[in-house]
Amino acid sequence: MKALIVEDDFTNRLLLQSFLSHYGECHIAANGKEAVEAYQAAAQQNQRYDLICMDILMPEMDGRDAIRVIRHMEANASIYGGGAKIFMTSALDDVKEIVRAFRGLCDAYLVKPIDTRKLLDELKGHNLVQ
Amino acid sequence: MADDNPTNLMVIMAQLAKLGYGADSVVNGGEALAALDREAYSLVLMDCQMPVMDGYEATRRIRASRHREMPVIAVTAHAMAGDREKCLNAGMSDYLAKPVELHRLAEILSRWTVTPASQGLRSSIEIFDERALLERLMNDRQLATKVMQGFLSDFPRQLDQLGRKIAESDALGAGLQAHAMKGAAATVAAGGLRAVALEIEQAGRAGALPRVIELIPVAAREFHHLQTALRHSGWA
């Protein structure tokens, strides 16, 4: 599994990176803009990410915009359905609103603080780990 | 409250009573040290110039004792610029100028102690919930320790960044910064710190920069509480 962690907070980044690196290679982006750049670079080398963990509220470009851009780039490359699994990580209290806004764009929603068991369940559920 | 001047003592004791704080008074630094060994206090108000043992020496000794975490507030008539440094160098936590104004005293006390109303209600779990953290990380103590250490080293930098946003009068930026701090505090199960960060985030979003500024020392204090709690429970 190759993962991209998009998160502006150091502590949360450290947690996700420490946990996910047991299961594969992890790259880090500190905001949506860096995420899009990392996605593009990986796509150009044809080494796409299997998983993108995306925070919502970030400086520069937030997670919503980054996800739309990435899905748009996938569509332009004629990748439908087989693209990166995107797990949205959010500390926002109104999870329902987020789910409504991102139905179809994301594969899973993880509420912060991250519970590694729930994360692992999602990884298994999306066949990212055995 | 340590002060050798009876009038000053009387005034401050009355002010403390008015604000709802219980207090004992002593007349020099040596007596203050003895009182700390006798009773459990939340904070020391320390006059700087006292006979037998002055406030600076008493504070140095407090910092070298088992009471090293005790907030010590300098109370001094010296209004020179260098006095503040002298107090902080001696290990004093904060500084209160004489004559002591009631609202300044209230502000300092709320900054460095829990308020009288909530005293005793606040459990250590509110500061740091070890069980919640471990449960959330599948009881992986090694991972929890690593994340906690990362948080402790990163949080002062986050406070600095918040200060920078304030210096730029960027309330929204401060709100976004506090949002990240809130997420980090929640991740390490630091409930008290998370609550303050949430308040800062809301104030920032509302453009209420003065409120953000007011809350920064509260966040710093809460971080200090957390560090103390972690040291006591062997996490840091």
- The CATH architecture assigned to B120-232 reads Up-down Bundle (1.20)
Closest Cβ–Cβ partner in B138, B143, B188 for A18: B143
Q: Which of A77, A83, A87 is nearest to A23 (CA)?
A: A87
Q: Which residues of B touch A88 (CB under 8 A)?
A: none
Handedness of CA B106, B110, B115, B120 (dihedral sign): negative
Cβ of residue A9 closer than 8 Å to a chain B Cβ:
yes
Output the pLDDT for position A94.
Answer: 58
Instruction: Summarize the confidence of residues A101-110 as an average pLDDT.
Output: 81
Instruction: Give buried/exposed letters for A23-57 (b at 16+ CB in 10 A, else e).
Output: beebbbbbbbbbbbebbeebbeeeebbbbbbbbbb
**If one looks up domain B6-113 in CATH, what number appears?**
3.40.50.2300
Output the pLDDT for position B16.
Answer: 86
Q: Per the structure block, which two tokens stand in for B122?
A: 């606040």
Better-scored residue on pLDDT, B114 or A54 = A54
Q: Per the structure block, which two tokens stand in for A6?
A: 């998009």
Provide the chain B residues 43-102 that lie in CB contact (below 8 A) with chain A: none
Q: Which residues of A touch B183 (CB under 8 A)?
A: 9, 11-12, 91, 112-113
What is the rounded distance in angstroms from the CA atom of residue B223 to the CA atom of residue B206? 24
Output the pLDDT for position A36.
Answer: 97
Give the residue from chain B lying closest to A14, CA to CA. Answer: B147
What is the rounded distance in angstroms from the CA atom of residue A85 to the CA atom of residue A81? 9
Q: A46 to chain B nearest CA, in Å? A: 32
Closest Cβ–Cβ partner in B137, B146, B176 for A59: B176
pLDDT in tens, B161-216: 999 999 999 999 999 999 999 999 999 999 999 999 999 999 999 999 999 998 99
Whether the per-residue pLDDT at B31 is higher than 70: the answer is: yes
Sequence-ordered list of residues with C-beta below 8 angstroms from that of A75, at least 6 positions apart, any chain: none
pLDDT in tens, B60-90: 999 999 888 899 999 987 666 677 778 888 8
Contact B184 A115 (CB under 8 A): no
pLDDT in tens, B117-162: 444 445 677 889 999 999 999 999 999 999 999 999 999 999 999 9
Q: Please check whether residue B219 is in contact with residue B197, taking contact to mean a CB–CB distance below 8 angstroms.
A: yes
What is the rounded distance in angstroms from the CA atom of residue A93 to the CA atom of residue A37? 29
Q: Which of B234, B185, B177 is nearest to B201 (CA)?
A: B177
Q: Which of A112, A105, A121, A59 is nearest to A90 (CA)?
A: A112
Output the pLDDT for position B102.
Answer: 86
What is the rounded distance in angstroms from the CA atom of residue B127 to the CA atom of residue B236? 14
What is the rounded distance in angstroms from the CA atom of residue A103 to the CA atom of residue B81? 60
Output the pLDDT for position A43.
Answer: 92
Q: B137 to chain A nearest CA, in Å? A: 5
**If one looks up domain A2-125 in CATH, what number appears?**
3.40.50.2300
What is the rounded distance in angstroms from the CA atom of residue B225 to the CA atom of residue B73? 17
Quickly state the pLDDT bin for B116 (edges 50, 70, 90). very low
Q: Which of A2, A13, A9, A11 is nearest to A39 (CA)?
A: A2
Residue for token pair 């779990």:
B125
Better-scored residue on pLDDT, B81 or A32 = A32
Q: Which of A93, A89, A99 is nearest to A55 (CA)?
A: A89
Residue pairs between chains A and B whose CB atoms are closer than 8 Å: 62
- CA B219 centroid distance within chain: 8
Domain residue spans in chain A? 2-125
Handedness of CA B180, B184, B189, B192 (dihedral sign): negative
Q: Which DSSP helix (H) or strand (E) runs through A109?
A: strand A108-111
What is the rounded distance in angstroms from the CA atom of residue B104 to the CA atom of residue A9? 35
Instruction: Summarize the confidence of residues A4-17 as an average pLDDT.
Output: 96
Contact B138 A14 (CB under 8 A): no
Output the pLDDT for position A97.
Answer: 62
- Neighbouring-strand partners of residue A5: A28, A53
Q: Per the structure block, which two tokens stand in for B203?
A: 């104030």
Q: Please check whether residue A69 is in contact with residue A37, taking contact to mean a CB–CB distance below 8 angstroms.
A: no
Residue ranges, comma separated, of all CATH 3.40.50.2300 domains in chain B are: 6-113
Whether the per-residue pLDDT at A77 is higher than 70: the answer is: yes
Q: Per the structure block, which two tokens stand in for B158?
A: 């986050």
Closest Cβ–Cβ partner in A8, A15, A117 for B187: A15
Contact B140 A116 (CB under 8 A): yes
Contact B136 A115 (CB under 8 A): yes
Output the pLDDT for position A106.
Answer: 87
Residue ranges, comma separated, of all CATH 1.20.120.160 domains in chain B are: 120-232
